[in-house]
C-alpha cells in the first residue's frame, strides 16, 4: 500500500503528531466537501425531498443500511446484517436486551474489568429496568474463559481493551460461550478499522461499535450494530422506535418490527454525520486490511521498544506481542500531567484513569518519523520533569 498517498487523504494540522485516532479519528479531506454538499445542495435545495432523493439520488432514509453494508465488509459481516444509527450506548442496550430475552432461564451477564464503562453502565441500567434478578458478573480479562458456565446468559466483551490494548480471542471465547449455551456480544469500538475482524468466522451473535475512532466519521458520529442473520427475526426490540417499524410511514398505532436488521433502527438518521461517514468509508475501499495490521504492529512495536529503552520510569500496560490492538499504553503515577506536557509539544495522545498514557497507531496517517519523534518528545518530558507544572497538573473536563 502507498502510505504516503493515504496520509494525503486526511487533514492534519502542521506540527502535530496525532496518536489519538483511537479516540477521535482525524478529518478526511473528502468529508468536509461531502458534508458541505449535503448541507447546501441537498438540504438547501431539496429540503424534505432529500429523504427520497438526497445522497446522490439514493435517499437519506436508506443510508443507515447502505453504510451498514460498507462497515460490514470491514468486520466480516454479510450484507443485510449491519445498520448504522443512534449511539453505542443505545446499541449496547438493544443487543443486551435481545440476548437476555433469548435466554429467559438464565440471569448472568458476564463481562470483564477491561470493558468500556458505558457497556457496564448500560448493563446495570437494563438489569434495574427489567427487575428480574439478573446479575452483572465482572471478572478480570484473563479470567473470562474460566468464568463462563451454564448460568451465563450472555457474554458482553470489548474485543480490544480500551486502556491497555489487550485483545480477546473473539472466536475462542464465542465458541466457549456457545458450548455453555450462552450468547456472545462483541464491542468493536477499538477494532473496526484498526485490524482484521471477522464476526462471521467467529460466529458472533451480536457486534456493536462506533464510527468516530478508526473509521474517522467525526465527533459524535453514529454507532453500528450487527446481528447474526439467523437471529434477526427472533428479536423483539425493547427500543421500538418508529424507524424500526415494518412500515414507518403507515403510522400504525401499534409497533410491528421491521424485517431483519431494519428492526434495530430506532430514531431519525443523523444525515450530516452520515454524509461524513460515507466520505470516510471511501478511504477503506482502498485499504488492504492485512497490510494495515502488519504496518500497525510494526509502528506500535517501534514505539513500544523506543519508550521502553528511553523512558524507564514508564511501566508497560500493553502486551509486548501481537495480542494487542492498534494502541500502546504505559503507566505513570502522574500520567495525566505527562500527557498534557506532551500535547503541549504537539504530540497528541490521551490519558485514561487512573494512570494510563495511551497512544494509537493508525498507519493511514502515521509513519516511522512521527513514531521516533514522539518517543524523543516523551523522553524529554520525563527526563526534565517538564510535566511538573501547574498548567499540566490541573485536570480538564475531557482527559
Question: pLDDT tens digits, residue range 190-225?
Answer: 999 999 999 999 999 999 999 999 999 999 999 999
Q: Report the pLDDT value the prediction gives residue 265, as an integer from 0 to 100.
A: 97
pTM above 0.85, yes or no: yes
Compute CA 298 distance to the chain's CA centroid, rounded to the nearest angstrom. 22
1: confidence class by pLDDT, cuts 50, 70, 90: confident
CB-based contact 114:158 (threshold 8 Å): yes
Longest Cα–Cα distance of the chain, Å, equals: 68
Q: How far apart (Å, rounded) are the C-alpha atoms in residues 313 and 332?
A: 7
Average pLDDT over residues 286-291: 95
Sequence-distant (6+) residues with CB within 8 A of 114 are: 141, 158, 161, 162, 163, 164, 166
Residues in the chain: 399
| Helices and strands, counts by H and E, the chain | 15, 15
- The per-residue pLDDT for range 57-94, each reduced to its tens digit, is 999 999 999 999 999 999 999 999 999 999 999 999 99
- As a whole number of angstroms, the distance between CA 82 and CA 208 comes to 9
Q: In what order do the strands lie in the sheet with 135-139?
A: 82-84, 223-227, 206-210, 183-187, 152-158, 108-112, 135-139
Q: What is the CA radius of gyration of the chain?
A: 22
Place of cell 519523534: 373
Q: What is the percentage of the chain residues whose pLDDT exceeds 90? A: 98
Residue 362 has pLDDT above 90, yes or no: yes
Cα 244 → chain centroid: 23
Give the orientation angle of helix 271-284 with respect to helix 63-75, to 10 degrees. 30
Which residues are known to be catalytic?
116, 187, 212-213, 358
Task: Output the pLDDT for position 375.
Answer: 98
Q: What is the rounded average pLDDT for all residues in the chain?
A: 97
Q: What are phi and psi of 356, to 5 degrees?
A: -95, 125
Backbone φ/ψ region at 76: left (φ over 0), alpha (ψ -120 to 50), beta: left
Sign, CA dihedral 55-58-59-63, equals negative
Amino acid at each position: 500500500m502507498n502510505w504516503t498517498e493515504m496520509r494525503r487523504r486526511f487533514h492534519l494540522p502542521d506540527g502535530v503528531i496525532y496518536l489519538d485516532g483511537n479516540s477521535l479519528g482525524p478529518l478526511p479531506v473528502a468529508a468536509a466537501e461531502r458534508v458541505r454538499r449535503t448541507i447546501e445542495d441537498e438540504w438547501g435545495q431539496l429540503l424534505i425531498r432529500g429523504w427520497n432523493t438526497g445522497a446522490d439520488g439514493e435517499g437519506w432514509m436508506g443510508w443507515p443500511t447502505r453504510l451498514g453494508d460498507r462497515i460490514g465488509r470491514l468486520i466480516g459481516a454479510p450484507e443485510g446484517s449491519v445498520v448504522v444509527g443512534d449511539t453505542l450506548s443505545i446499541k449496547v442496550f438493544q443487543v443486551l436486551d435481545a440476548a437476555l430475552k433469548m435466554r429467559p432461564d438464565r440471569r448472568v451477564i458476564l463481562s470483564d474489568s477491561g470493558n468500556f464503562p458505558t457497556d457496564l453502565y448500560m448493563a446495570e441500567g437494563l438489569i434495574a429496568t427489567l427487575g428480574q434478578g439478573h446479575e452483572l458478573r465482572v471478572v478480570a480479562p484473563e479470567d473470562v474463559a474460566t468464568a463462563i458456565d451454564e448460568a451465563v446468559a450472555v457474554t458482553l466483551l470489548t474485543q480490544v481493551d480500551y486502556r491497555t490494548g489487550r485483545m480477546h480471542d473473539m472466536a475462542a471465547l464465542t465458541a466457549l460461550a456457545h458450548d455453555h449455551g450462552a450468547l456472545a456480544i462483541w464491542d468493536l469500538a477499538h477494532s473496526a478499522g484498526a485490524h482484521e475482524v471477522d464476526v462471521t468466522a467467529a460466529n458472533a451473535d451480536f457486534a456493536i461499535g462506533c464510527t468516530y475512532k478508526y473509521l474517522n466519521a467525526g465527533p459524535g458520529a453514529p454507532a453500528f450494530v450487527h446481528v447474526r442473520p439467523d437471529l434477526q427475526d427472533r428479536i423483539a426490540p425493547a427500543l421500538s422506535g418508529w424507524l424500526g417499524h415494518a412500515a414507518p410511514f403507515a403510522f400504525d398505532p401499534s409497533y410491528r418490527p421491521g424485517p431483519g436488521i431494519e428492526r434495530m433502527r430506532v430514531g431519525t438518521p443523523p444525515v450530516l454525520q452520515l454524509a461524513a461517514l460515507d466520505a470516510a468509508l471511501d478511504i477503506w475501499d482502498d485499504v488492504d486490511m492485512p497490510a494495515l495490521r502488519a504496518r500497525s504492529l510494526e509502528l506500535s512495536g517501534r514505539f513500544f521498544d523506543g519508550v521502553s529503552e528511553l523512558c524507564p520510569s514508564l511501566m508497560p500496560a500493553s502486551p509486548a506481542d501481537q495480542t494487542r490492538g492498534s494502541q500502546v499504553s504505559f503507566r505513570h503515577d502522574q500520567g495525566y500531567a505527562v500527557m498534557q506536557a506532551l500535547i503541549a509539544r504537539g504530540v497528541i495522545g490521551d490519558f485514561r484513569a487512573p494512570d494510563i498514557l495511551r497512544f494509537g497507531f493508525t498507519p493511514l496517517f502515521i509513519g516511522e518519523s512521527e513514531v521516533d519523534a514522539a518517543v524523543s518528545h516523551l523522553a524529554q518530558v520525563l527526563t526534565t520533569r517538564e510535566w511538573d507544572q501547574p498548567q499540566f497538573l490541573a485536570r480538564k473536563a475531557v482527559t
